[in-house]
Amino acid sequence: MLDSFNQTQFLHSVITIGSLLIFAIGLVGVLIKKNLFKIFLSFAIIESSLFIYFIGMHFEVEKVAPMLTDKVTKFSTNMTDPVPQAMILTTIVIGIAVLALALSFIINYFKLTNNMRVDDMNELGDEK
């Protein structure tokens, strides 16, 4: 019976719904949370949802991972598309780098102003 769940269409729907939910969680976090850390973590959550969606939509049930092993000795069309996987690996790395940079900015900002809330960031802006 579980085999009926093992179909590409079903898996795609699950992935879509799941990633939309995670996207929504992240979106709510970005728009509503006031703590700087939490905003950037919500961005990371949104990006994760996009990654899951992208990789998931390229997954087909019968296909194998695009790697050469002892059993699979040459490239064939039985492999899933390697391009999105390469793309997402790169994007994950970029996301980590940006998050680390954001973290360093937040730490330095906190050292200077003791403030972690986005609402109270009022150093910039025109004087009336």
Partner 1 sequence: MSLLYFVILPLLASFLTPFFRNYLRYISLAVNLMLLALSFSFLGSLPIRESISFDSPLSIAFVLDSASLFFIVLFLSIMTLFSIYAIRDKSRKDIFILTNMLLASVSGLVLSGDIFNIYIFFEIASISAYILTSLQKDKEAYSGAIRYMIMGAVASIFLLIGIMTIYLNLGTLNLVTIGEKFSTIDNQIKSLTLISLFIGFGIKAEIFPLNFWVVDIYQASTNRVNALFSSVLSKAYIFLFFHIAYILGVNIKILSFLAILGIISFGVSEISALSSKNLKRVFAYSTLGQIGVLFIALSSSSIVATTGAIFLIALHAITKLMLFLSLDILEDRFSSVNIDIFKKFNSLFLISIFAIGFLSLLGVPPFGGFIAKLTILEGLITKSEYILVGAILVISLIEAVYLFKLLGMSREAGEKSSLDIPILKRGVLSIMALSIIYLGIFPELFLQICKSVALALVGVDNV
Partner 2 sequence: MFSFEITPLGNLFLALNLAVFGSLIFMKRENLALMLLLFLSLSTIFYANNLITLFIGWEVMSWSSYFIIVKDVKLKTAQKYIIFNLGAGFALLGAIVLIYNFSGTFIYSDIIFNKVPIPFRTPIYILLFITIFVKSGIIPFHYWVIDTYKEAEDIFSAILSAIISKAGIFLFITLFIKIIGYKYIETNLLDIVAWLGVITSIVATFKAISQNSLKRLLAYSSIAQVGYIVTVLTILNSSGLEAGLYHTVIHTFVKLLLFVNIASIIYITKKDKFSELGGLIYSYPTLFIMLLIGIIGLAGMPPLGGFSSKFLIYTTLLEEKKALLLVAIMFSSASAFLYCYKLIYGIYLGHSKTDKKEHRKLSTLYYIPQYIASLILIVLGFLPSLAIEIFNPILISLGFKPTNFSTLFELNSNFASFNGGAIMAIFIAIFVVILLIVTSIKNRTVKTRDKLDISYCGEVPNPNSNLHYGYGVGEELRRVSFIGFILKNSVSPYWERVLVVVKESSIFLKRLYSLTIQNVGVVTIILFSILLYIGVE
| CB 66, CB 85: distance < 8 Å | yes
In the complex, what is the shortest distance from the CB of residue 119 to partner 2, in angstroms, rounded to a whole number?
Answer: 6
What is the per-residue binding string for partner 1 in 95-114, x denoting contact by CB under 8 A? --xx--xx--xx-xx--xx-
Quote the CA–CA distance of 51 and 93 in Å, as a whole number: 12
Instruction: Quickly tell me which residue has 């802006």 as its tokens.
Output: 125
55/63 Cα distance (integer angstroms): 13
47 binds, among partner 2, partner 1, none (CB under 5 to 8 A by kind): partner 1
CB distance 39 to 117 below 8 Å: no
Select the span of 1-9, 34-42, 65-73 touching partner 1 (CB under 8 A).
34-42
Min. distance of Cβ 115 from partner 1 in angstroms?
9
- Cβ at position 120, least distance to partner 2 in Å: 10
Which residues sit at the interface with partner 2, rule CB under 8 A? 27, 30-31, 34, 39, 118-119, 121, 125-126
| Residue 20 is a binding residue for partner 1 (CB under 8 A) | no
Q: Which of 59, 106, 103, 107 is nearest to 84 (CA)?
A: 59
Chosen from partner 2, partner 1, none, partner binding at 50 (C-beta under 5 to 8 Å by type): partner 1
Distance from C-alpha of 128 to C-alpha of 109, rounded to nearest angstrom? 25
